[in-house]
Structure 1
Amino acid sequence: MNEPIYSYMKLGTIAFMSFPAIMNGEGPILETIKKLAEDPYFTAVECSWIKDWTTRAKAAKLLKESGMTVCYGAQPRLLTTGLNINDLDENVRLQALESLKEGLLEAEELGAKGIAFLSGKYEEATKEQSYEALVKSTKELCCLALERGMQVELEVFDYDVDKKSLIGPTMYAKQFAQEIRWEYDNFGLLIDLSHFPLIHEGIEESILPVKDLITHVHIGNAVIDPALEAYGDAHPRFGFPGSVNGQEELVKFLRTLLETGFLNKEKPPVLSFEVKPWKDEEPEVVLTACKRFLDEAWRLV
């Protein structure tokens, strides 16, 4: 592709994955945001919860000054606490929902236009009841978001490997998204290249059925051999030993998104790295390697 990549997308990274020390809502949050805001490669950044309100206010100021598009991932609010948004225990479900509502208001404070989250655990025996609980929670979250002019996105995760989330296979995600969209047009799906191998699907299989429901994308890598390091939803760097998403897969991913019109010049969407340093790998080095990898893939599209 000869045209600049920025003509078709806003490039970002998930701050709490690139720099996992801040995933719990604490740690060097301001330093991390400042570092990303000073990097001209990025025109978007994805943040998450910031527990201290003074730190959050300073982060909001930094983000406003940066001119970057801000996104908010509420996944850590659920994954680090064990909360389940489709829990069949009503008290637990409401706790999870309350946390996501708090996240929505926090996202607004940081300058984000929406919030992304993931479904809770998949259990075959209670699949239908869990689905109904998820519908109930999501509609309530979408209602609050709509009142504030904001978007809600559900990220599609694996259902039987690592996170074992209800949503889930692509066709199930499609069914769910269509049901929510029937009532709330501020809802969409977030898909991640690194999750496709984990849900046992190919690139077109994971994109084409939901092409009109996708509002946000991540790119990353995965290891699907349980005998190897970083197996599961660990988001290792591109080129990691035994990983399955290489240059060919990323090029095909980008081409498919272009062909479906998701990547476009009229309203460029956010595309972010979801790559996490493995063990003692240096976050800055891994992030720079991601940039090189994407730049080369775009040249080949």
Structure 2
Amino acid sequence: MKDPIQKYFQVGTIQWMSHPPVSYDLLDSIKMIATDEYFTALEVSQIKDDETRAKAKKMLGESHLKVCYGAQPRLLGPKLNPNDLDEEGRKKAEATLLEAVDEAEYLGAKGIAFLSGKWGEKNQEQAYEQLLKTTRTICSYAATKGMMVELEVFDYDMDKASLIGPAPYAAKFAADMRMTHNNFGLLVDLSHFPTTYETSKFVIQTLRPYITHLHIGNAVVKEGCEAYGDQHPRFGYPNSANDVEQLRDFFTVLKEEGFFNKDNPYVMSLEVKPWGDEDGDIVLANTKRVINRAWALVED
């Protein structure tokens, strides 16, 4: 493509993945990303300290970045399950997601993203109904604030083992949600396609009416190899599934399916993290190089 990628997408990164909190200060990370003009969006998550949250809000407000909010860590950390068959457990997950809507609004985001809980063959239908119940409650609350709710599609049997799940099942859930709430959408991630044994073309075409947000990244799906599963290693990582060619294919499918929207661009965020003692800033630069090369290879 001759046009820059920023013409058609709001290119972002996921703060807590680019700069894991065990190694990087949150405010320093936000400042570094906010001063990089390559990015026009930034995804943040829960900030527990009031003073830090207020400083982050100020920085984000100055940045002209589109702010997005990922509630996934709120669920994954304490192992909360929005499709928990135990009603008390489901309500705990629902409560933190309602809090996430409020925090997202404070930080300037127009919605939240989250993920479903564990998948299992037993009681799958009941779990599905529990997830609908939770998601409808969150969507109804978010709608009062003019905000979106997005469910990220994960693997069902490799790592996260989430209820939602392969693309056809995600399409069914999204269709059920859209029957009652028009502020619901799906977030799809290139790094998850190998973990659900699907291709870009299959996922994008299957979920076309419901996709509202995009992630790109890498995965190792060869059993026994380092970084196996949903670990989001850098592009070029040994034994990994995605690189320039897979990203070029992803971009090409998005172009063919009408996702290149210069007037109202989709957010497309990098979900790539340093592995071990790797440097997060070098990994960010690595990712931008791969994006630029793959983008240049897409036919106009």
* TM-score grouping bracket, smaller chain normalisation: over 0.9
Match of 1:84 in 2: 81
Answer yes or no: is 1:209 the counterpart of 2:230. no
Match of 2:157 in 1: 160
Answer yes or no: is 1:8 the counterpart of 2:5. no
Q: Which residues in structure 2 correspond to 1:186-225 (within 5 Å)?
A: 186-225=183-222
C-alpha contact (below 8 Å) 1:217/1:271 kept by paired residues: yes
Which of residues 175, 181, 184 is equivalent to 1:178?
Answer: 175
Structure-1 separation of matches of 2:13 and 2:260: 17
- In structure 1, runs of 5+ residues without a counterpart are none
Other structure's SS at 1:20 match: coil
Structure-1 separation of matches of 2:200 and 2:32: 32
Which letter does structure 2 place at the counterpart of 1:250? Answer: L
TM-score (norm 1): 0.97
Structure-2 separation of matches of 1:9 and 1:37: 17
- Superposed CA deviations along residues 152-205 of structure 1, whole A, max 9, x for unmatched, are 000000000000000001000000001001111000000000000101111111
Which of residues 30, 45, 51 is equivalent to 2:42?
Answer: 45
**How far 1:4 moved relative to its partner?**
1.4
Structure-1 separation of matches of 2:68 and 2:44: 6
Match of 1:35 in 2: 32
Which of residues 222, 227, 230 is equivalent to 1:230?
Answer: 227
Which of residues 105, 126, 129 is equivalent to 1:129?
Answer: 126
Answer yes or no: is 1:69 the counterpart of 2:69. no
**How far 1:22 moved relative to its partner?**
6.2
Structure-2 separation of matches of 1:4 and 1:91: 49
**How far 1:263 moved relative to its partner?**
2.3
Which letter does structure 2 place at the counterpart of 1:17? Answer: M
Which letter does structure 2 place at the counterpart of 1:14? Answer: I
**How far 1:28 moved relative to its partner?**
1.6
- Deviation larger for 253-262 or 108-117: 253-262
Structure-2 separation of matches of 1:293 and 1:15: 19
C-alpha contact (below 8 Å) 2:17/2:271 kept by paired residues: yes
Answer yes or no: is 1:98 the counterpart of 2:95. yes
Structure-1 separation of matches of 2:176 and 2:69: 23
Which letter does structure 2 place at the counterpart of 1:19? Answer: H
C-alpha contact (below 8 Å) 1:121/1:165 kept by paired residues: yes
Moved over 3 A (4+): none
**How far 1:258 moved relative to its partner?**
1.3
Match of 2:243 in 1: 246
Which letter does structure 2 place at the counterpart of 1:113? Answer: K
The number of aligned residues is: 298
Which letter does structure 1 place at the counterpart of 2:32? Answer: K
**How far 1:31 moved relative to its partner?**
1.1
Which letter does structure 2 place at the counterpart of 1:275? Answer: V
C-alpha contact (below 8 Å) 2:243/2:290 kept by paired residues: no
Match of 1:21 in 2: 21
Answer yes or no: is 1:281 the counterpart of 2:278. yes
C-alpha contact (below 8 Å) 2:186/2:212 kept by paired residues: yes
C-alpha RMSD over aligned residues = 1.0
Other structure's SS at 1:58 match: helix
Which letter does structure 2 place at the counterpart of 1:182? Answer: M
- Superposed CA deviations along residues 90-143 of structure 1, whole A, max 9, x for unmatched, are 111000100011011000000000000000000101110000000000000000
Which letter does structure 2 place at the counterpart of 1:274? Answer: E
- Superposed CA deviations along residues 228-257 of structure 1, whole A, max 9, x for unmatched, are 100000000000000011111100101111
C-alpha contact (below 8 Å) 1:247/1:293 kept by paired residues: yes
Structure-2 separation of matches of 1:150 and 1:144: 9
Other structure's SS at 2:265 match: coil
Match of 2:290 in 1: 293
Which of residues 139, 143, 147 is equivalent to 1:142?
Answer: 139
Task: Give % identity.
Answer: 55
Structure-1 separation of matches of 2:57 and 2:43: 13
